[in-house]
């Protein structure tokens, strides 16, 4: 690939793909984004998008996520009136009495802002919460936040088009185009070839499938999940809540977004690839969310989306160029919201500058080839 690429094709219209494209345009690169349907129609459109590095993970992953949160704070400082990005903190409690303490100890060990509070103390810092819903102690992380990814994508897409970038939507199923073993563009379902000096594959949970067509294996553990958006109501708190029966964040328009995983076995996969879930299950999840707020307000579901949640097989992010297919970069991670801005920035840096980013060293896709080789011996 030329040291200074002239044109790069980004396959995927979610937060990571659009962020990468936006950072490339800032570096003066001509960009074409190609996406299967509309922007934010995949995993980014059904993400809780909680900005955090809570809990236990490797130090490298933790540092990566902290850098991601820092980028969002910079964005918020530039756009203080954006109602789709905020830092009201996060609250966690688990199903057992020791869950919060174990989480808190892991966070404190990494100097992550974390407070262990009993229900009464939690009620003092989050008065809109229902203290009776907290079964024991809880963790309060005051530095955490949330983002509405569809709004972020709209914001970044405007920057791309203003810089002369092209966004191709509804291209349906696309494939990476190669010549002499090198990625040279993408081919749409209709057979159109869109060529470039390099390709970035950022297709959310479909990324391993797209990469597999190139003969490269990335382990995939993406489960089905659902995100519910409520009808408008007077939301009493601006914190993200991670509890045993509902995970909740504020959402623009005086609504909330709700998800969890206890209902995964109730999701039905139809023959045409769409998904269904009983309305009673949706109502139960919304009722669980309502119990978290003081006064237990009446909350109704306005709509919900179901699909695969992107999670690599080992839980760690996947970022970087495929050694087996030069010119093809892959971006695949569970923490797509937290890492969207920093991840797009670092991939753009590697594409344009040609130097490997140290922060991505642990997250290269080739680690799965090593795993497969070890398993075969």
Per the CB < 8 A criterion, the answer to whether 27 and 4 are in contact is: no
pLDDT at 5: 76
CA angle, 351 then 78 then 330, to 5°: 25
For residue range 306-337, what is the model confidence (pLDDT) as tens digits? 999 999 999 999 999 999 999 999 999 999 99
Crossing angle of helices 336-353 and 59-78, in 10° steps, is: 90
For residue range 117-143, what is the model confidence (pLDDT) as tens digits? 999 999 999 999 999 999 889 999 999
> 102: Cβ–Cβ under 8 A, 6 or more apart, which residues?
none
pLDDT at 2: 45
Per the CB < 8 A criterion, the answer to whether 9 and 194 are in contact is: yes
Say which CATH superfamily domain 7-45+150-221+313-376 falls into: FAD/NAD(P)-binding domain (3.50.50.60)
Rounded distance between C-alpha atoms, residue 226 and residue 205, angstroms: 14
* Bridge partners for 321 per DSSP: 329
C-alpha distances out from residue 10 to 36, 54, 167, 198, 328, Å: 12, 30, 9, 9, 10
Domain boundaries in the chain? 7-45+150-221+313-376, 85-144+222-308
pLDDT at 374: 46
Share of the chain above pLDDT 70, in %: 97
Is pLDDT above 80 for 3?
Answer: no
CATH, range 85-144+222-308:
3.30.9.10
Is 28 exposed, middle or buried (CB count within 10 Å of its CB: 0-12, 13-18, 19+)?
A: exposed
**CA 293 from chain center: how many Å?**
26
Residue 115's H or E segment, with its range, is strand 115-117
Other C-beta atoms closer than 10 Å to the C-beta of 167 total 17
Is pLDDT above 80 for 267?
Answer: yes
Q: Considering only CA atoms, which of 128, 139, 127, 88 is closest in space to residue 289?
A: 128
For residue range 185-222, what is the model confidence (pLDDT) as tens digits? 999 999 999 999 999 999 999 999 999 999 999 999 99
Rounded distance between C-alpha atoms, residue 17 and residue 39, angstroms: 10
**CA 87 from chain center: how many Å?**
17
C-alpha distances out from residue 30 to 6, 24, 352, 364, Å: 6, 8, 11, 25
Q: What is the mean pLDDT of residues 43-66?
A: 97
3-class secondary structure, 193: strand
User: Phi-psi category of 262—alpha, beta or left, where left has phi over 0 and alpha has psi -120 to 50?
Assistant: alpha
Is pLDDT above 70 for 224?
Answer: yes
Beta strands 193-195 and 198-201 are unpaired
C-alpha distances out from residue 130 to 10, 116, 126, Å: 44, 17, 9
């Amino acid at each position: 690939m030329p040291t200074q690429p002239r044109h790069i094709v980004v396959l995927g219209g979610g937060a990571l793909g659009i962020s990468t494209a936006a950072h490339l345009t800032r570096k003066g690169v001509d960009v074409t984004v190609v996406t299967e349907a509309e922007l934010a129609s995949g995993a980014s459109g059904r993400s809780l998008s909680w900005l955090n590095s809570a809990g236990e993970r490797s130090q490298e992953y933790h540092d990566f996520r902290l850098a991601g949160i820092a980028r969002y704070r910079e964005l918020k400082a530039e756009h203080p009136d954006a109602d789709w990005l905020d830092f009201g903190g996060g609250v966690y409690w688990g199903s057992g009495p020791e869950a919060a303490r174990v989480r808190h100890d892991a966070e404190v060990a990494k100097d992550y802002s974390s407070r262990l509070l009993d229900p009464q103390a939690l009620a003092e810092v989050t008065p809109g919460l229902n203290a009776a819903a907290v079964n024991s102690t809880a963790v309060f992380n005051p530095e955490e936040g949330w983002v509405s990814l569809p709004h972020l994508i709209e914001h970044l897409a405007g920057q791309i088009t203003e810089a002369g970038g092209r966004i191709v939507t509804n291209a349906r199923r696309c494939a990476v185009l190669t010549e002499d073993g090198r990625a040279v563009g993408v081919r749409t379902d209709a057979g159109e070839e869109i060529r470039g000096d390099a390709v970035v594959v950022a297709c959310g949970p479909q990324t391993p499938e797209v990469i597999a067509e190139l003969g490269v294996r990335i382990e995939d553990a993406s489960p089905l999940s659902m995100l519910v958006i409520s009808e408008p109501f007077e939301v009493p708190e601006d914190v993200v809540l991670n509890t045993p029966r509902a995970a909740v964040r504020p959402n623009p328009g005086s609504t909330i977004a709700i998800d969890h995983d206890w209902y995964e076995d109730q999701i039905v996969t139809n023959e045409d690839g769409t998904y269904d879930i009983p309305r009673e299950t949706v109502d139960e999840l919304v009722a669980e969310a309502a119990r978290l707020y003081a006064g237990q307000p009446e909350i109704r579901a306005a709509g919900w989306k179901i699909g695969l949640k992107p999670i690599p097989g080992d839980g760690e992010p996947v970022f970087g160029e495929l050694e087996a297919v030069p010119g093809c970069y892959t971006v695949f991670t569970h923490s797509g919201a937290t890492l969207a801005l920093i991840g797009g920035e670092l991939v753009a840096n590697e594409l344009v500058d040609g130097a490997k980013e140290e922060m991505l060293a642990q997250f290269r896709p080739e680690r799965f080839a090593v795993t497969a080789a070890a398993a075969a011996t």
